Amino acid sequence: MPGYSERMSRVDTAWLRMDSERNLMMIVGVWLLRPALDTVALRKRLAARLLRYARFRQKVVQETVFAHWVEDADFDIRRHVVRERLVRRRGQSEREALKHRVSELAAMPLDHTHPLWQMHVFEHYEGGGAVILRMHHCIADGIALNAVLMSIADGGVDLHPTGHAASHDHGHDGDWLADAVVKPLTGLAVQAIGLYGDGIVKTMDHLAHPQRTLAESAGLLRSGARVLRDAAALALLDDDSPTLLKGPLSGRKVVAWCEPLPLDRVKAVGKALQCSVNDVLLSCAAGSIGHSLRERGEDPTGKEIRAMVPVNLRPLEQAWQLGNRFGLAPVVLPIGIENPIERLYAVRERMHTLKDSYQPLLAYALLAVNGSLTQSAQDMISNLFLRKTTAVMTNVPGPVKPIRICGSTLRQSIFWVPSSGNVGVGVSIVSYMGGVQFGLITDSQRCPDPQKIIERFAPEFEALLLLTLMLPWVP
């Protein structure tokens, strides 16, 4: 509605203000389709489905501390869905040309005088077409955006509940977020975001009922101690090992991706070695990065790097609400271990320590605090954590069946989450249609050729597969 204004949530405000010349807070994605998408048809589809969500019609107006969502009176979908022609240099393949264009757009700010999203449509690419998507992180997190974007598919389900105004995505946080800073783990907060079962809820329920038994109180003390332990661990993280991947950034981006690996093989390796699919994929990522550093003349032996991994904190049925509802878990990648089995079990051990951690929720509360501060205060707090991080990594599970959009089949989907501060590496692991693939976005000064890391991903997995096949066969 004209003149409508809604205050942005504190968490979303924090993401909005993390924009810098070196790192833009944009989620960047690529769709490869066959046959090509018709730009006019895509505009009509988005107008009918995507624009039901008010965030995609609203621009952002910033103030000293707060930001507001305001209806864009000059909204024109042609500004947001742009037809482009792929420009190829001499000797350059279509894939190389598309990666170059993605790299350019990943470093190009969105127009803040209009809604912060854009799609670039290429109607001629590898016998089909391609779309480059850019959306500012303040609109939503990856889980919400993936669910909403899939709703524009042919036969897609409209996630938005009937009878609700599309702008209602809890922009004012609710009182529990303020309490989350003072009393970090209230039952209301945890029930709302569905964290790790009911353990934390029971803990806070004890506080409201002092007549509980001594045994129950002991459980409360243990949970409270874990909260304090995790808060201290989050605040006192050691700095990452120094590597070529960490240091000053240029602001120029380079992207790379590989062809998908069969997901059933990844699952089989994980089952045989008693590890999760995530353990296997993270181990392959660590091995690829370590191998790349050796090729660049750096010995990573004994070194580890930290990747911040988003952890979803909302039920999937609430994805239509948009906004950001995720925490961050610090995952340590043992890039210095060459032996693939030893590295895999090292990853499994590190992931196990995070299984019952409250760190994602505490990180979410920290973002809420940051969104209530001035820009300079937010930067100071954020930089304390960014110094301890080399990469941002995300694992996005996609549909197992082919998705069709306006009659075109989506054959490959790649997304990258943004990095902030001086973090110059973004890793994405995306599963879709029975395949799983590895994608990288890097700062050119820290890693000028991420394709070399990408190309190592499959051999790292094949090494694990070969060792798995050599295990004794048990009938």
pLDDT tens digit sequence for 456-471 = 999 999 999 998 887 6
- The residue-averaged pLDDT of 429-448 equals 92
Nearest to 428 by CA among 389, 394, 392, 458: 394
Q: 285 with 347: CB under 8 angstroms?
A: no
pLDDT of residue 3: 54
Name 427's bridge partners: 393, 440
Comparing 95 with 354, the larger pLDDT belongs to 95
Name 439's bridge partners: 257, 428
pLDDT of residue 149: 75
Q: 169 with 322: CB under 8 angstroms?
A: yes
Q: What rounded mean pLDDT belongs to the chain?
A: 77
Q: 194 with 313: CB under 8 angstroms?
A: yes
pLDDT tier for residue 77 given thresholds of 50, 70 and 90: very high
pLDDT tier for residue 174 given thresholds of 50, 70 and 90: very low
pLDDT at 403 over 70: yes
**Same fold yes or no, 5-150 and 241-393+428-469:** yes
For 276-325, the pLDDT digits (tens) are 888 999 999 999 999 999 999 999 999 999 888 766 555 555 555 666 66
Nearest to 152 by CA among 47, 26, 56: 47
- The residue-averaged pLDDT of 241-252 equals 91
What is the spatial distance between Cα 22 and Cα 420, in angstroms, rounded to a whole number?
Answer: 8
pLDDT of residue 24: 92
pLDDT tier for residue 159 given thresholds of 50, 70 and 90: low
Q: Would you list the domain boundaries of the chain? A: 5-150, 175-234, 241-393+428-469
Any idea which of 80-94, 163-177, 336-350, 395-409 has the lowest mean pLDDT? 163-177
Looking at the chain, the whole-number percentage of residues with pLDDT higher than 70 is 69
pLDDT of residue 168: 40
pLDDT tier for residue 393 given thresholds of 50, 70 and 90: confident
Distances (CA, A) of 373 to 2, 67, 244, 369, 402: 29, 12, 33, 7, 44
CATH architecture entry for 241-393+428-469: 2-Layer Sandwich (3.30)
Q: In the numeric block, which tokens belong to residue 319?
A: 């994805």
pLDDT of residue 329: 72
For 317-342, the pLDDT digits (tens) are 555 566 666 566 778 899 999 999 99
Comparing 70 with 183, the larger pLDDT belongs to 70
Report the topology of domain 5-150.
Answer: Chloramphenicol Acetyltransferase (3.30.559)
